[in-house]
Amino acid sequence: MNAIDQDHRAPVLSVRGLVKRFGSVTALEGIDLDINENEVLGIVGDNGAGKSTFLALLTGYHHPDSGEFRYRGHPVRITSPARTRRALGIEMVYQDLAMAPDLSVWENLFLGEEIKRFGILSSRRAMRARAGEVLAQMNTKIRPEWQLGQLSGGERQLVAIARGLLFDRDIILLDEPTAAISVAKADDVLNTIGDLHKRGKTVVLISHRLEDVLAVCTRIAVFVTGRVAQVLDNRDLTIADLIHAMFGGAADRQRAQWERRQQPGTR
Amino acid sequence: MTGISSAPAPSPYRQSLPALLGRAAGQEGSVRRPIAFLIGAGIIATLITHDFIRGSNLNELLISSSFLVVLSVGEAFVILVGSIDLGVESLMASFGMLAAWLTVFHGVPTGPALLGTMVGAVILGALVGLLVAKVHIPSFVVTLGTYWGFQGVALLTNGGSYISPSSVTPARPFGFAVLADSTLGVSNLIIVAVGVTVVAQLVITFTPLGAWLKSIGSNELAARRVGLRADALKVLVFAVSAGLAALAGIMMTAYQGSIYPTTGQGDSLEAIAAVILGGIPFTGGRGTVVGAALGALLIGIINDIIVLLGLPALYEYIFVAAVLVVAGLQARGGFLVK
């Protein structure tokens, strides 16, 4: 789908030295991370650790102050969400889903990338049919002509993920996919993520629901105040391990500071 | 109009009578509601006076509604994206006066005069759109400015006086007066109004533009995230609104044989009421242009009833107020007041 030379041994996306500031706040202090083909990479960390900012940079919604991206080994500039979707095959599923509640499911799925005849006429029937196909592939009962605003949170989440399948995007980014949904629907979403993995897609997801992260992810990157503190393979990992990785460093530093203050003469 | 339907299995919370009535009349945004209102108004009008249903009266009704229909179509574009255009009545008066002024006082041939007027209006509308989209001044404020400013322009054009062919000697007729003639027995004004409505609705339904405009009204952030150029689209809708306001002004000038600076007073709010009645919520995001046109027709019927009953024209304001309240209630969905 793109003309970039592809080195298939390289990670599908690589990030080096990514820095992002918002005014006086530094959200990312130099992120180095590889995203490998067909993995499910989880990103965990405390609030404010920079997880959402990182995804926003990957999708082109914000631009980094410094750092570089590589797509399959080849340096790229990530400029805008629209171009990222088309050129790099990255589909971003936002926490607030970025969909219009007044429009139908199929109108939302094709928004901005409509199937057209003669360049300007919408092929409504074709879009509706294609949307129906993808929804059926995902094993949901959602029909393309339903109004999006009337769907439950979980159903909307599935529709948002469907956009990635619809346009055959290879890299799917998810920001808190199970945060605002019922437990039952969360299972549907997790199963869908598993499906994406089976279809050969690469998935990156942010979640504070550590049990969900452990359920679907193959690797987990731990963000701590704007840096990648650790990257763990999901082998026999427990929630306690993750929590320690997210906060343990800080707790250890605080304890070391406290111990130092207990030494006489160090004030 | 197809494309959207309700998900089945209504929740247990939505079985009240007002909600059921609301569902029967079609969901918010569908064109069934204005049609229902229109039929209801037509029946009431006929009951009030049999003169209503006479061919000549219906013809007059359609002709006198044609200007508001054209204004409402333009307003519909603006409200669909969640903005508002309060200035359309002043643009109608000003650009109607401009066309008359060019033709009568300066002998500009009809073609260039109309073209210049329309182009001028579209450029002005685009400027309004830029102020809203790029400078981030709320549309309410910008178009309140055009409402006042262009009322002034209309008044200043001929020293506060009207313009007609006999404003100069020897009299110079409006070349575009042909707009008020008939083709095959139907007034050209009706043809233009219907044509504008149909073309606008076809564009909204059968090109991606409709979904784009609605997405901005529904969730602008989402629209931007998928890469839509929301700023350019906002500029477009204000350009359309201004252009159609100018067209309505030209139509009015042709119809009356003269144009007054105070033409169309109150029409901005009637156009907005028509759009809301037609099914586009105040925040935009859904609805049809045809609905807005039907809403304009509904207001025309109300005005017609007032005339037929011999009531003073002041009653129009009260009735439009009532219509607006009803429109506001039904736009909330199912007559529930929040």
Rounded-to-integer distance, Cα B288 and Cα B275, Å? 9
Rounded-to-integer distance, Cα B25 and Cα B27, Å? 7
Q: What is the ipTM of this complex?
A: 0.84
Residue B331 confidence (pLDDT) above 80: no
pLDDT tens, residue by residue, A167-196: 989 999 999 998 878 888 888 899 999 999
pLDDT tens, residue by residue, B65-92: 999 999 999 999 999 999 999 999 999 9
Q: How far is B307 from chain A (nearest CA, A)?
A: 39
Residue A267 resides in a domain: no
CB contact under 8 A, A100 and B222: yes
pLDDT tens, residue by residue, B234-289: 999 999 999 999 999 999 999 999 999 999 988 999 999 999 989 898 899 999 99
Domain count, chain A: 1
Write the CA distances from B261 to B110, B118, B167, B255, integer angstroms: 21, 18, 14, 15
What pLDDT score was predicted for residue A3? 41
> Within the 185-214 window of chain B, which residues sit less than 8 Å (CB to CB) from chain A?
206-208, 210-212, 214
What pLDDT score was predicted for residue A2? 43
- Asked if B30 and B1 touch (Cβ cutoff 8 Å), the reply is yes
pLDDT band, residue B169 (cuts 50/70/90)? confident
Residue A144 resides in a domain: yes
Residue B22 confidence (pLDDT) above 70: no
- DSSP run (H or E) holding B178: none
Residue A171 resides in a domain: yes
Residue A54 confidence (pLDDT) above 50: yes
Residue B3 confidence (pLDDT) above 60: no
Residue A1 resides in a domain: no
What pLDDT score was predicted for residue B338? 29
Q: What percent of chain B has pLDDT over 70?
A: 89
Q: Which residue type occupies A193?
A: I
| A37-60 mean pLDDT | 91
CB contact under 8 A, B226 and A111: yes
- Asked if B284 and B217 touch (Cβ cutoff 8 Å), the reply is yes
What pLDDT score was predicted for residue A171? 94
What pLDDT score was predicted for residue A266? 53
Rounded-to-integer distance, Cα A25 and Cα A180, Å? 28
What pLDDT score was predicted for residue A264? 66
What pLDDT score was predicted for residue B87? 97
What pLDDT score was predicted for residue A257? 72
What pLDDT score was predicted for residue B27? 55
What pLDDT score was predicted for residue B19? 54
* Between B5 and B260, residue with greater pLDDT: B260
Tell how strand A171-175 and strand A90-93 pair up.
parallel
Residue B15 confidence (pLDDT) above 60: no
Q: What percent of chain A has pLDDT over 90?
A: 60
Residue A56 confidence (pLDDT) above 70: yes
Cβ contacts (< 8 Å) between A145 and chain B: which residues?
2-5
What pLDDT score was predicted for residue B146? 96
Cβ contacts (< 8 Å) between A124 and chain B: which residues?
3, 206
Report residue B147 as tokens.
């409402």
Residue A147 confidence (pLDDT) above 80: yes
Place of tokens 């304890």: A255
Burial of A126 (0-12, 13-18, 19+ CB in 10 A): middle
Residue A7 resides in a domain: no
What pLDDT score was predicted for residue A66? 93
Residue A109 resides in a domain: yes
Q: Can the peptide bond before residue B170 be classed as cis, meaning omega within 30 degrees of 0?
A: yes
Q: Which residue type occupies B296?
A: A
Domain that holds residue A117: 13-262
- Asked if B287 and B300 touch (Cβ cutoff 8 Å), the reply is no
What pLDDT score was predicted for residue A122? 94
Rounded-to-integer distance, Cα B259 and Cα B91, Å? 13
Residue A88 confidence (pLDDT) above 80: yes
Residue B1 confidence (pLDDT) above 50: no
Residue A157 resides in a domain: yes
Highest mean pLDDT among A86-100, A121-135, B302-316: A121-135
Task: Domains for chain B: give ranges and CATH numbers.
Answer: 25-331 (1.10.3470)
Report residue B117 as tokens.
């007027």
Residue A5 resides in a domain: no
What pLDDT score was predicted for residue B323? 74
Residue B2 confidence (pLDDT) above 50: no
| B130-135 mean pLDDT | 98
- Asked if B248 and B70 touch (Cβ cutoff 8 Å), the reply is yes
pLDDT tens, residue by residue, B170-202: 888 888 888 888 888 899 999 999 999 999 999
The full 3-state SS of chain A, as one line of letters, equals CCCCCCCCCCCCEEEEEEEEEECCEEEEEEEEEEECCCCEEEEEECCCCCHHHHHHHHHCCCCCCEEEEEECCEEECCCCHHHHHHHHCEEEECCCCCCCCCCEHHHHHCCCCCCEECCCEECHHHHHHHHHHHHHHCCCCCCCCEEHHHCCHHHHHHHHHHHHHHCCCCEEEEECCCCCCCHHHHHHHHHHHHHHHHCCCEEEEECCCHHHHHHHCCEEEEEECCEEEEEEECCCCCHHHHHHHHHHHHHHHHHHHHHHHHCCCCC
Interhelix angle B230-256/B110-133, rounded to 10 degrees, is 140
3-state helix, strand, coil in chain B (%, to 5): 70, 0, 30
Residue A165's Cβ-side half-sphere holds a number of Cα atoms within 13 Å equal to 22
For the domain that residue A230 is a member of, what is the CATH number? Answer: 3.40.50.300
What pLDDT score was predicted for residue B202? 97
- Most B CBs within 10 A among A147, A151, A155, A173, hence the mutation to make, goes to A147
Choice among A33-37, B114-118, B333-337 with the minimum mean pLDDT = B333-337
Closest partner residue to A112 (CB to CB) among B2, B7, B227 is B227
> Within the 199-258 window of chain A, which residues sit less than 8 Å (CB to CB) from chain B?
none
* Between B49 and B95, residue with greater pLDDT: B95
SS3 B186: strand
